[in-house]
Amino acid sequence: MDRMRILIAASEAAPFAKTGGLGDVVGALPKELAKLGHEVVVFLPRYKSIDLARYRTQRLDWTVTVPIAGRNFGAQLESLRDRKLPLSYYFVHNEPFFGREGIYVDPSTGSDYVDNDQRFSFFSRVVLESLKQLGWKPDVVHVHDWQAGLMPVLLRTVYSADSFFAGIKSVLTIHNLAYQGVFPRERFTDLALPEELFYATGPLEFYEKVNFLKGAIMFSDRITTVSPNYANEIQSSTEMGSGLDGVLRNRSDDLVGILNGVDYTVWSPSRDKVIPYRYHIPNLSGKRSTQVELLNNAGLPVRERTPVIGMITRLVDQKGLDLVIAAGERLFQRDVQMLILGTGEERYHDQLMRFQEQFPDKLKVWLTFDDNLAHWIEAGSDVFLMPSRFEPCGLNQMYSLKYGTVPIVHRVGGLADTVEDYDPETGQGTGFVFSDYTPEAMLSAIDRAIELFARKRPWTKLMKTGMRQDFSWASSAEKYQKLFGNLTRSQ
């Protein structure tokens, strides 16, 4: 494979800024592509929360100026180079747009920043203008989600006559179609885009509003989603396609699902730097020791024959919290203990706390996000519950498999791609899968897990089968490499 220049633009990337799976992906994928020998440059906003001093970045001595909302705004770049790989990061610094307490949401109100359209339009333009200043022309521009979605639009419109950008291909990755970047139509003029892009059924028009993701879908050369099954689902119905199913079907020949990978240097029980006791397939004792310490810290009794069910999730409908609440009374009448970590809708916060008061020896809820605690729950649970209504890829079920924590999942999206239902006749499978999105179907899967947990030998075999699964980034990166290579050779 010829060496390529690959630009990756996103609104977050671990370890610098992360709110979910997007941050994990953009944290890992550039490194894997660089390991394959490609020259990779990553652009991110320079948020207030990013402590760049610890990374020893360098401030470039020039400013990029771009138009937004009838005014010109300037940005400076801070750079960071990987010492071992052909990989560089550039952080777009503008205090009014990115020097805020939150990334997308104002913590003081709990609502999205009203000027998110201006903020991320600014980001997209600065990235492209910076390439000219740097004199670095990529072969492929790989953008992630709506926040970077205007870049393919700009490449095909505003910058189409600029010879510097000639021949650059664009690839859009959709991490969650439910988030599209939709804004009032009167704000279209703020984006400084050609007026002919916004009309009824036009590239950026969506029910009389501006839709960043629709524009990205329309103008990208190729589109990927984060699992093969999700790529099919989002074209199958208005509900699964969040209203863009028709637009996606029109691009079906250019749409492919590539499963996200796992960074096993971070998420592996034999290498995990956070959990108190490491373990691996030949010796699983560290898992039990971690569980005992976790239950003690949670204030729950240690019961050797009772399975511990973990959940690390946003407490919202998408993640199946409606099923958990509907099944709650019946679930906690069973011989289980449960640990839930996450934040989300207030109604779910309230109901889960009521369950905790009602079943104090069976449930512990942490209404926060704590990455260290997430590692403990992955390692210290026997079972991991992911009853998502829809799930583009999901990472926790893949983490759980590696930790010997048997997943229970709804047969949807990436969950269906990564978890094989256990067959008691053959002993084959890696978890428990339910098809109907109902509390009863979920409880039935939990009952199957409880029954098998009581039988140590087949349960241990199931754990070890999961731990042997390989969802490393190397395989996924090679698929992206092939996609990029075919795209650049086709011009």
pLDDT digits (tens, 9 = 90+) for 260-272: 999 898 899 999 9
Is the pLDDT assigned to residue 20 strictly greater than 90? Answer: no
Residues 222 and 172 sit within 8 Å (Cβ to Cβ) = yes
Which residue has tokens 């009838």?
A: 70
- 311: in domain: yes
Domain match, 213 and 345 both: no
pLDDT band, very low/low/confident/very high, at 45 (cuts 50, 70, 90): very high
Domain match, 138 and 218 both: yes
Domain match, 378 and 453 both: yes
Domain match, 321 and 247 both: no
What residues have CB less than 8 Å from 39, skipping those under 6 apart? 3, 4, 5, 6, 86
- Residue 392 half-sphere exposure toward CB, CA atoms < 13 A: 23
State residue 263's pLDDT score: 87
State residue 335's pLDDT score: 97
- 275: in domain: no
Residues 217-253: pLDDT tens digits?
999 999 999 999 999 999 999 999 999 999 999 999 9
Angle among Cα 401, 460, 404 to the nearest 5 degrees reads 20
State residue 264's pLDDT score: 92
pLDDT band, very low/low/confident/very high, at 254 (cuts 50, 70, 90): very high
Does the pTM exceed 0.85? yes
**Ordered DSSP codes for 104-152:** SEETTTTEE-TTHHHHHHHHHHHHHHHHHHHT---SEEEEETGGGTHHH
Domain match, 229 and 305 both: no
Element (H, E) at 379: helix 371-380
State residue 110's pLDDT score: 85
- 268: in domain: no
Residues 428-448: pLDDT tens digits?
999 999 999 999 999 999 999
pLDDT band, very low/low/confident/very high, at 53 (cuts 50, 70, 90): confident
Domain match, 255 and 294 both: no
Does residue 70 come out as left (phi exceeding 0), alpha (psi in the -120 to 50 range) or beta? left
Is the pLDDT assigned to residue 80 strictly greater than 90? Answer: yes
Is the pLDDT assigned to residue 490 strictly greater than 80? Answer: no
- 398: in domain: yes
413-to-260, 346, 399 alpha-carbon distances in Å? 12, 26, 16
- Supply the range of the domain harboring residue 452: 285-467
- 267: in domain: no
- 278: in domain: no
- 209: in domain: yes
Residues 286-341: pLDDT tens digits?
999 999 999 999 999 999 999 999 999 999 999 999 999 999 999 999 999 999 99
Residues 454-463: pLDDT tens digits?
999 999 999 9
- The burial class, CB within 10 Å (0-12 / 13-18 / 19+), for 2 is exposed
Number of H helices, E strands in the chain: 16, 20
Is the pLDDT assigned to residue 1 strictly greater than 80? Answer: no
- Taking residues 163-190, what's their average pLDDT? 96
Is the pLDDT assigned to residue 403 strictly greater than 90? Answer: yes
Give the mean pLDDT of the chain. Answer: 96
- 276: in domain: no
Is the pLDDT assigned to residue 491 strictly greater than 70? Answer: no
Residues 20 and 226: their CA atoms lie apart, in Å, by 14
Domain match, 439 and 381 both: yes
* CATH number for the domain harbouring residue 182: 3.40.50.2000
Domain match, 297 and 376 both: yes
Q: Output the six-digit token pair for 235.
A: 């074209």
Q: Output the six-digit token pair for 489.
A: 């050779």
232-to-175, 220, 255, 313, 419 alpha-carbon distances in Å? 14, 18, 9, 24, 17
Number of domains comprising the chain = 2
Domain match, 322 and 444 both: yes
Domain match, 448 and 477 both: no
Domain match, 342 and 394 both: yes
Residues 197-211: pLDDT tens digits?
999 989 999 999 999
Domain match, 479 and 441 both: no
Angle among Cα 246, 113, 91 to the nearest 5 degrees reads 90
Residues 114-171: pLDDT tens digits?
999 999 999 999 999 999 999 999 999 999 999 999 999 999 999 999 999 999 999 9
